[in-house]
């Protein structure tokens, strides 16, 4: 399981912590509760949990998302809602029902957290206005993250295109005699492109198209970030090998070995994982 990414958003003068992990967004209910009672946020959460509508909502959410949810314990809790003596804490809810939508922990980053579906429901109970601002700021956060991902992705593709131009020039200057026709030159370019494709992807462009007839674009358009980084490096290295006079079979073996080594390194690098 990947490490959770911790961010925060500003909502009506307060700060709400958001954890993102495995494509799930988890909100700090304790931070949201401070909007209603900054001194005793836990009391706000417990009062919310005492509501029958809250318990029923949580039960439906858990049934939809949690195979390990305990329906027998849930029914027992639901029957007690509405009684003056009924009290329910996040920890009790989790321990009795095996719930996963809410978590509770102590420590520096402790507090009560909940899946965004539940967090928005809680925010609505705290304040409808606060909920609308929370959703708005959360969407702004996700838009910013998407923009950064697009920038990183486009940067890698731009680098690949620049290196492709360098690579093409090396082919033109070293492998293509001045008297060849445009059709002959294109054939050499295609051959060299497939040299890199085979070194990195293990197949030619045509082989990929035949195997992915319904996919749009080409093999590069469906490459991972790691593959694009390695492809950029292979293009530069192949340009050097071409100028050194190495024949295609020798260059293919060299580039393939480099591709394997670099892919292993990148797949194990935490800095690359953080870009995803």
Residue appearing with tokens 């390194």: 265
Cα 114 from Cα 120, distance rounded (Å): 9
pLDDT for the residue numbered 181: 56
What is the secondary structure of 9-52 as a DSSP string? EEETTEEEEEEEETTEEEEEHHHHHTTT-SS-HHHHHHHHHTSH
Which pLDDT band, with edges at 50, 70 and 90, does 178 fall under?
low
> What are 112-155's pLDDT values in tens digits?
999 999 999 999 999 888 898 898 888 888 777 776 666 666 66
- The pLDDT tens digits for 193-241 are 788 888 888 888 888 888 988 877 888 888 887 788 888 888 888 888 8
10 Å Cβ neighbour count for 211?
10
In the chain, what percentage of residues exceed pLDDT 90? 30
Those residues whose C-beta lies under 8 Å from the C-beta of residue 206, and which sit 6 or more positions away, are: none
The domain spans of the chain are: 5-126, 146-273
**Residue-level pLDDT at 163:** 66
- What is the average per-residue pLDDT within 91-108? 89
pTM over 0.85: no
Q: How far apart are CA 225 and CA 156, in angstroms?
A: 8
């Amino acid at each position: 399981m990947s490490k959770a990414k911790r961010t925060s958003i500003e909502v009506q003068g307060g700060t709400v912590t958001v954890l993102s992990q495995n494509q799930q967004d988890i909100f700090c209910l304790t931070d949201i509760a401070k909007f209603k009672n900054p001194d005793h946020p836990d009391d706000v959460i417990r009062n919310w949990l005492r509501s029958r509508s809250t318990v029923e909502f949580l039960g439906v959410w858990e049934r939809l998302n949690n195979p390990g949810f305990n329906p027998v314990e849930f029914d027992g809790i639901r029957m007690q809602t509405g009684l003056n003596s009924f009290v329910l804490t996040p920890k009790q809810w989790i321990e009795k029902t095996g719930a996963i939508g809410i978590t509770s922990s102590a420590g520096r980053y402790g507090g009560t957290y909940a899946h965004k579906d539940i967090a928005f429901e809680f925010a609505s109970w705290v304040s409808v206005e606060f909920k609308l601002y929370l959703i708005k700021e959360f969407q702004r956060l996700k838009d910013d993250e998407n923009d950064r991902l697009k920038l990183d992705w486009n940067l890698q593709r731009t680098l690949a295109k620049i290196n492709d131009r360098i690579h093409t020039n090396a082919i033109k200057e070293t492998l293509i005699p001045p008297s060849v026709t445009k059709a002959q030159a294109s054939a050499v370019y295609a051959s060299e492109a497939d040299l890199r494709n085979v070194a990195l992807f293990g197949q030619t462009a045509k082989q990929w198209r035949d195997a992915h007839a319904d996919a749009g674009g080409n093999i590069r358009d469906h490459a991972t970030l790691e593959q694009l980084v390695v492809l950029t490096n292979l293009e530069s290295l192949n340009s050097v090998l071409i100028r050194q006079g190495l024949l295609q079979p020798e260059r293919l073996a060299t580039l393939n070995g480099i591709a394997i080594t670099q892919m292993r390194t990148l797949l194990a690098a935490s800095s690359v994982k953080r870009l995803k």
